[in-house]
Structure 1
Amino acid sequence: GWRYVLGLMIILFAWLIVGSGASVLVAFALGGQADPSGLGLVEYYLFVMASFLCFFVGILIAVALVHRRHPQTLITARKRIDWHRVGHGFVAWFVPYCLIGGLGQYLLYPDTFSFTSSLITFALFVPLALVLTAIQTTTEELFFRGYIVQGASLIWSNRVFLAIVPAVIFTLPHLLNPEARAGGWLTIFSNYFFVPGLVWT
């Protein structure tokens, strides 16, 4: 139990304190000031993603040094990761998400999309987005659906409990997102609590 408390403190410090400092450094390096509001789209994306690199490192430190375990144990209890299952889960989620979330939104709310002809911005952004978004999503999964679930299992191994705990904890930091503030409680429930929190767990 104490290892999870200590590990959680290390992870939160790396994410919220060190990560915030890293984001400020990125804002200074790219925009000359700590305020990210003057940054362009790609620069602002880097500003946001900087904290996730620190978050990821914090998880690795907590698992490897405090728990003395391999980080893979956050993903599976097997000797190896079953990439077939990972691919199956990706397709099972990504295809309907693109059809409903992407195509559906475009057909129902076309004014929410904007297109640009800047090939330089596109060419710069795509490789960054593929690498950094993968780090961001992996980090969130390792923490919320790995570390938090395993820590909560020390309290109670009930599967419903183990689905609800990370769902609530996952929802809390996302309440600050602009779409959560604009969309109200239904957006918060469906986008953060129900789908990622309960279904993914």
Structure 2
Amino acid sequence: MYIEQGYKGLHEGWRYVVGVIAVFFGWQFIGGIPLVIALISKSGLDSLVTTPSGMSELLGANVFLFLMLLAFVFGILFLFIFVKYVHKQSFKSLTTSREKIDWKRIIFAFSLWSIVSILFILLDIYLSPDDYVLNFKFEKFLILAAIAIALIPIQTSMEEYFMRGYVMQGLGIAVKNKWIPLIVTSSVFGLLHIFNPEVQKLGYGILVFYIGTGFFLGIMTLMDEGLELALGFHAANNLTAALLVTADWTAFTTDSIYRDVSDPVLGWDVLVPVFIVFPILLFIFSKKYKWTDWKGRLFGKVMSKEEFLAVENGNPSEV
């Protein structure tokens, strides 16, 4: 009953509408001020229309990464403050339907996807060595590691708490079913990446990967009745990408260990994660955590507040 956890706070529709606007304001506008000031002071107003790789070159990769990720700190602060003081909802109920947050789930998902991601990257380097150059610079990498380890989990957590936490709970309570929140949050999550430099380089077909990833994370959240697995997976995905390999045309242009110098093309590697790897991961998670009733958890109805409170109070006969 993850979506129904929203009933543990004030859940009128207007609160969610104002909340979405407030979080976007804190994330995109307030959070973006330090980066804008740095760019203008460095190279004037023209720098504001520079590509991410150009901004990275202008400010230095580590400085740009820090300022870009700093925006997510403001975003998650605005979200948590709004949830606490406007919705009167607890951090725990925004995270999970369990009695307490399951950190073992976060660690397992993080560890599993870190290992898989590293193996995929190393395999690609082995099979296509001409596509990569060693980019390791000890001092710059140490700074990168400190920034990435401190801020990337905040960035990914902000996206998860906002899309598959706050918006999914609010939308589910409004429409009283689970499939509309799953479709909407997954699609919006993917489409929010439309301004990424990867889309400009590879075309709109890459959105299949982003939207597919959104559905994978959404299914995982609904089936597991909490955000823990999604939090761990998302942090591992972005952290390994930032530390191990980067390219001039990606959102994360960092002082990583390797640099991809190949001419990117949209190919099978976009479809394999969505249609092969992610289903395998869902199977692994389902066996480990004994998921059942896929139809009910993904397409079933969301209880009314009265029904939810009856179950919570140990009176399921009243449902």
TM range (shorter): 0.7 to 0.9
> Which residue number corresponds to residue 36 of structure 2?
24
Q: Does the CA contact (< 8 Å) of 1:26 and 1:50 recur in 2? A: no
Instruction: Evaluate the alpha carbon distance shift between residue 117 and residue 185 of structure 1 in structure 2; reply closer, same or farther with a 3 A threshold.
Output: closer
SS in 2 for 1:175: helix
- In 1, Cα distance between the equivalents of 2:133 and 2:183? 36
SS in 2 for 1:114: strand
- In 1, Cα distance between the equivalents of 2:91 and 2:175? 23
> Which structure would you say has the larger Rg?
2
Per-residue CA shift, 1:53-94, capped at 9, x if unaligned? Answer: 111111112111111112232211233101122222223433
Q: Does 1:72 align with 2:84?
A: no
> Which residue number corresponds to residue 198 of structure 1?
215
Q: TM-score when scaled to structure 1?
A: 0.86
- In 2, Cα distance between the equivalents of 1:80 and 1:26? 41
Give the number of the structure with larger relative contact order, counting CA–CA contacts within 8 Å between residues 6 or more apart: 2
Q: Percent identity?
A: 29
Q: Which of the numbers 134, 151, 176 marks the counterpart of 1:115?
A: 134
Alignment of 1:1-201 (within 5 A): 1-27=13-39, 31=42, 33=44, 35=47, 36=55, 38-100=58-120, 102-190=121-209, 192-195=210-213, 197-201=214-218
Per-residue CA shift, 1:109-132, capped at 9, x if unaligned? Answer: 444433234211112111111011
Instruction: Evaluate the alpha carbon distance shift between residue 176 and residue 108 of structure 1 in structure 2; reply closer, same or farther with a 3 A threshold.
Output: farther
Instruction: Evaluate the alpha carbon distance shift between residue 158 and residue 60 of structure 1 in structure 2; reply closer, same or farther with a 3 A threshold.
Output: same
- In 1, Cα distance between the equivalents of 2:154 and 2:40? 23
- In 1, Cα distance between the equivalents of 2:129 and 2:62? 23
Q: TM-score when scaled to structure 2?
A: 0.57
Q: Does the CA contact (< 8 Å) of 2:191 and 2:211 recur in 1? A: no
Instruction: Evaluate the alpha carbon distance shift between residue 157 and residue 112 of structure 1 in structure 2; reply closer, same or farther with a 3 A threshold.
Output: farther
Per-residue CA shift, 1:19-40, capped at 9, x if unaligned? Answer: 22132234467x4656335111
Instruction: Evaluate the alpha carbon distance shift between residue 162 and residue 97 of structure 1 in structure 2; reply closer, same or farther with a 3 A threshold.
Output: farther
Which stretches in structure 2 are left out of the alignment for 5+ residues? 1-12, 48-54, 219-319
**Cα RMSD, aligned residues only:** 2.1
- In 1, Cα distance between the equivalents of 2:109 and 2:90? 23
